[in-house]
Chain A
Amino acid sequence: MKSRLLIVSVLVLTCTGFGAIAAQQQSDHSEYVDYMFVFGAKSGSVEGDTLTLNGVPNVVYFSGRPYRMAGQMDADTFVKVWSDGKDGFSKDPPNAVLSMMGDHGAFNVVVELLSVKAEGDAVSFKIRKLDGELKREFGEAALFVDSL
């Protein structure tokens, strides 16, 4: 592993810079870049069709090869990306995996995300459950959101 030469680029965005990704994707169709967005949370709850994550410091994103980028944005920026994107999330709701810490390791629930709101360090989503059992309240959790 150490003999491997590995170059990782960390893409750093300004708050308004996320459009760069969309521009890049459109400019090179042969190498479409997929992103995964991750929300780490201190705790969370589900009430009706609303999933709320609390204590979310920021949103981390990763891309696959060949670009291998990683970066962060604040939740407000993610909300903007959600609604602004030309082929945005709002038109084609993404699937996501909510991974929660349980007594015997992490367990997962697959959901579809229909809308998003951010307020302070809380982020809430309207969701539709696809697979697994949601708990009303839970502790540390990460929500992995598929890219478009």
Chain B
Amino acid sequence: MRLKLTLAVILFACLGVQMSSAETVINKGEAATYLYAVAAKSGTFKDGKLELKDAPLVVYFTDVPHRVAGMLSLEVFAQGWDKGPGSLRADPPNATLSYMENGSVKSVIVELSDPNVDVDKASITFDTRVLEGELPASFGKSTLFLEGSGTELYQQ
């Protein structure tokens, strides 16, 4: 678990809330941090396994000054899990799962490890430990957000 990484989830139901608490502490000279998003049509959580179904692909995005955005297939994303000196396997990332429930968005903070992709079902499964919130046994439209260093993982 990345102890130095804090995912602050801000529930945002009313208008005009200032987000200054979300300021980041990043030195400009450092490598880009990648934010990955896996959007899925539905998902399940059973016996510590989180499965996201009908997830076409993974999109990623980096901050300024790098400003890179792109996409990866689920397979390439899962293959990258083991790569690099600071691999996600060695240090399982925290992630936020946002899902829709009765027209509103709920969020759960989880720790992810060991991704497995089923190409035919366009699904990805993680061993998952819930850190904050409650993960329902099944849910609908959802997005999993996680951070990693794409520089080592995916760039050739």
Interface residues of A in 91-145 (CB under 8 A from B): 99, 101, 106, 121, 140-142, 144
Indicate if the CB atoms of A20 and B15 lie closer than 8 Å. Answer: yes
Indicate if the CB atoms of B33 and A1 lie closer than 8 Å. Answer: yes
Sampled A-B contacts (11; CB under 8 Å): A1-B86, A7-B24, A8-B7, A14-B104, A27-B16, A38-B61, A55-B41, A70-B61, A73-B105, A74-B141, A142-B70
Specify which chain A residues have a CB less than 8 angstroms from the CB of B145 in the assembled complex.
8, 10, 70
| Chain A contacts to B: CB under 8 angstroms | 1-15, 17, 19-20, 23-24, 27-28, 36, 38, 40-42, 55-58, 60, 62, 64-74, 99, 101, 106, 121, 140-142, 144
In the bound complex, how far is the Cα of B21 from the Cα of A15, in angstroms? 23
In the bound complex, how far is the Cα of B8 from the Cα of A140, in angstroms? 31
- B101–chain A nearest beta-carbon distance, Å: 11
In the bound complex, how far is the Cα of B141 from the Cα of A140, in angstroms? 18
In the bound complex, how far is the Cα of B20 from the Cα of A140, in angstroms? 36
In the bound complex, how far is the Cα of B25 from the Cα of A112, in angstroms? 35
Contacts A13-B12, A40-B57, A140-B73 given; indicate if A4 touches B4 (C-beta within 8 A).
yes
Indicate if the CB atoms of A24 and B55 lie closer than 8 Å. Answer: no
Task: Tell me if B100 is interfacial: C-beta within 8 Å of chain A.
Answer: yes
Indicate if the CB atoms of A99 and B2 lie closer than 8 Å. Answer: no
- A37–chain B nearest beta-carbon distance, Å: 11
In the bound complex, how far is the Cα of B33 from the Cα of A68, in angstroms? 12
Indicate if the CB atoms of A23 and B16 lie closer than 8 Å. Answer: yes
Specify which chain B residues have a CB less than 8 angstroms from the CB of A65 in the assembled complex.
24, 63-64
Indicate if the CB atoms of B107 and A12 lie closer than 8 Å. Answer: yes
Indicate if the CB atoms of A11 and B12 lie closer than 8 Å. Answer: yes
Indicate if the CB atoms of A57 and B104 lie closer than 8 Å. Answer: no
Which interface residue of B10, B17, B39 has the most chain A CB atoms within 10 A?
A: B39
A1's nearest neighbour on chain B, judged by CB, is B149
B84's nearest neighbour on chain A, judged by CB, is A1
Specify which chain B residues have a CB less than 8 angstroms from the CB of A57 in the assembled complex.
39-41, 54-56, 141-143
- B92–chain A nearest beta-carbon distance, Å: 12
Task: Tell me if B112 is interfacial: C-beta within 8 Å of chain A.
Answer: no
Indicate if the CB atoms of A72 and B143 lie closer than 8 Å. Answer: yes
Indicate if the CB atoms of B33 and A7 lie closer than 8 Å. Answer: no
A33's nearest neighbour on chain B, judged by CB, is B19
Interface residues of B in 60-118 (CB under 8 A from A): 61, 63-64, 67, 69-71, 73, 86, 91, 96, 98, 100, 103-107
Indicate if the CB atoms of A1 and B103 lie closer than 8 Å. Answer: no
In the bound complex, how far is the Cα of B24 from the Cα of A36, in angstroms? 18
Contacts A6-B33, A42-B54, A144-B69 given; indicate if A66 touches B24 (C-beta within 8 A).
yes
In the bound complex, how far is the Cα of B98 from the Cα of A73, in angstroms? 10
